[in-house]
A and B are shown apart, each in its own frame.
Chain A
C-alpha cells in the first residue's frame, strides 16, 4: 500500500491524529530488521503501529533500557502505561542500557524520529536553544543525541504544531544535520546520513527533490485530509518543493484503526493533535 492516496470520503471515526499516526508509521516502512526508535507520544503510536501491522520485524525500545520483541501484533504494548504495566507488558529481547544504545546507533541499525523546535528546508533540526547559542534567548534541550543520530543512521522528524516558527529558513542551532551540512562533509563522511520524512499535524514532507546544486531539499509529499495547500504554505517559513502530483495522506485501514485505539487507549494523541 502506498502512503499517498487520492482523496476519499472521510469517515467521522478517523481523526487528524489517526492520520498522523499512519503517516508516522509509513516513515518506517521498508526498515525491516532495525531499531524503530520514535520519541514522543504520536511517534510512539506510529512506530508501534508499523510494527503491529506492515513492518513486523522492527525492533522496539521499551523507552528505557531494553529492546522488546512482542510475539504477536496484539502484544505490541500500548504507550504511556503505568510503570508496573510497562514492565509487565514488555517481552525483553535485548539489554540496551544507554552505552549500548550508543553502540547500536554508531553501528547504524536504527531509525529515530525526533521532535524539532525548528527545522529548515535541508532538514537541519534545532532542539538546543533559541537565539545565539552562546547566551541563548531560550535554552532548550541541548544537542542530546541529534548530531550523532543524524550522521550515523536514518532520522525522521515529528512536528505537532506546524507553523512558520518551526519551519524556518535557517535554524538557530544545527543539532540534527541536514542535507546541506551532509553535502559539505562529502560523500565518505556523510554516507550514513538520511533524513527521510518530516510528519506534521498538517502534512508529510520528504527530501526527494534536489536544489540547484543537487542537494536534497524538502518536498511536500502529501496533505492530510482536510488541509489545503495554501494552509500549509502559510504555515511554512522555509522553501518547499510542491510536486505536480500532490496527493493526500492516507487514512488508516480498519485493522490499523483498531491498533491505533489499542496502542493509545487514553487517546493521548488527541492532546497532541486536537481535531481541527
Chain B
C-alpha cells in the first residue's frame, strides 16, 4: 500500500525546526545541496544551529547569515572555487565553532548514528591534529589482538579513533525525484551520503526536482538509484531547480556565474547586503524568477 502523503513547503519544514538544533545537510561541496531549504532557513529566525555537512555554499550562507553556532564538516568548499569565502571569514573572525574532521570520519559518524551505535572505529585521524584540535574525540582499544605477519608475540590491542555517532535532529537532502511519501531517486553518478543523513536524523526532509507516482521511480535509473525509503522521510518538498546554484546532475550543472557572484559577496558588507536583498530576502518563487532572468 502507498505511504502517507508527506508533501509540504520549505517554510512548513522550517516551522518544524527550532533554534539550537543539529541539522545535517546532504550533497557534497557545491553539488546537489538542498538550497531552497537553506534559503528558507535564511528567511527564518532560526539560529544557534549546529550544522553537519560535506560543506559548500549551504554552510557559507548559514554562517554569513548568523545562523550557526558550530559547523562539523569534512571540508567546506565551492569545488570550482576551492575555499568557501564566508566559511573562511567565519573561521578567521572566530564567529563560529568548528569541528573539522577527516572526510571519511564524517561518513563513519553518520553511519554510526544511522545504525544506532555510539561510535565506529577507524585508523583515519590517528596521529594527526584532528585529534589534538577536536579535543572531545576519543580513542578505543580493540578487544581483539592484532598480530603482525611473522610475529609470535600474541599481538597488540590496537588503539583506534572512536568516531562518535552524529545524531541529527533533522536532515535536509535534495534528490532528483521522489514520490509523495518520500521514496527517492538520486541520479548522476554519486549518491553522496544523503541516505545516511536521512537515517541519522530524527526528522528528514527531501526536496526534489519532481514528484512522481511511485510506479515511475524505478524507470528513472536502475534500482540502485532508489536509495532513500519513505520510512526515513518526514516531509517531501517539490522544488524544481531547488539545488541552484549548486549542480544537480543530470538535471542541471552548477551555475558557475552565479556562484562567482555569490563568492564575491565576501569582499564587503555592502556586496553581501546587496546580494541578500536581491536574492535572499525574497521567497523561493521570486528567487527562481530572478535566476531565470539572469539566464536569458
Contact = CB atoms under 8 A, between A and B. Distances in A.
A265 interface: no
Given A148-B124, A185-B127, A64 B102 contact: no
Interface stretch (A19-27, A158-166, A172-180): A172-180
Contacts of B88: 139
A254 interface: no
Contact of A142 (B73, B156, B189): B73
Interface string A45-74: 000000000000000000011100000000
Q: Which of B105, B190, B192 has the most CB of A within 10 A?
A: B190
Contact of B158 (A147, A184, A188, A192): A188
B253 A174 contact: no
Interface in B70-110: 73-77, 82-83, 87-88, 91-94, 100-105, 107
B122 A148 contact: yes
A95 B188 CA distance: 12
Nearest to B190: A97
A145 B102 contact: yes
Q: Which of B82, B83, B128 has the most CB of A within 10 A?
A: B128
B123 A142 contact: no
A98 B192 contact: yes
A144 interface: yes
Contacts of A187: 148
A195 interface: no
Interface in A98-152: 98-99, 102, 105-106, 128-129, 133-148, 150-152
A132 B122 CA distance: 26
A34 interface: no
B225 to A, nearest CB: 12
Interface in B138-174: 146, 148, 156, 158-159
A275 interface: no
Given A65-B190, A188-B158, A136 B92 contact: yes
Contacts of B122: 106, 148
A99 B107 contact: yes
A191 interface: yes
Q: Which of A133, A137, A188 has the most CB of B within 10 A?
A: A188
Secondary structure of the B contact surface, majority rule: mixed
A129 B91 CA distance: 10
B191 interface: yes
Contact of B123 (A66, A137, A145, A152): A152
A9 to B, nearest CB: 40
Contact of A105 (B104, B105, B159): B104
Q: Which of B124, B125, B158, B192 has the most CB of A within 10 A?
A: B124
Interface residues of B, number: 43
A32 B253 CA distance: 36
B148 A188 contact: yes
B126 interface: yes
Contacts of A146: 102, 128
A64 B73 contact: no
B102 A188 contact: no
B123 A189 contact: yes
B105 A142 contact: no
Contacts of B190: 64-65, 97-98
A182 interface: yes
Contact of A141 (B77, B94, B123, B189): B77
B87 to A, nearest CB: 7
A175 B129 contact: yes
A97 B189 CA distance: 7
Interface string A180-222: 0110111111111000000000000000000000000000000
Interface of A: 64-66, 83, 95, 97-99, 102, 105-106, 128-129, 133-148, 150-152, 173-177, 181-182, 184-192
18 contacts: A83-B253, A102-B104, A133-B129, A134-B133, A135-B93, A135-B94, A139-B87, A142-B74, A143-B75, A143-B100, A144-B74, A144-B75, A145-B104, A148-B102, A148-B105, A148-B123, A151-B123, A177-B126
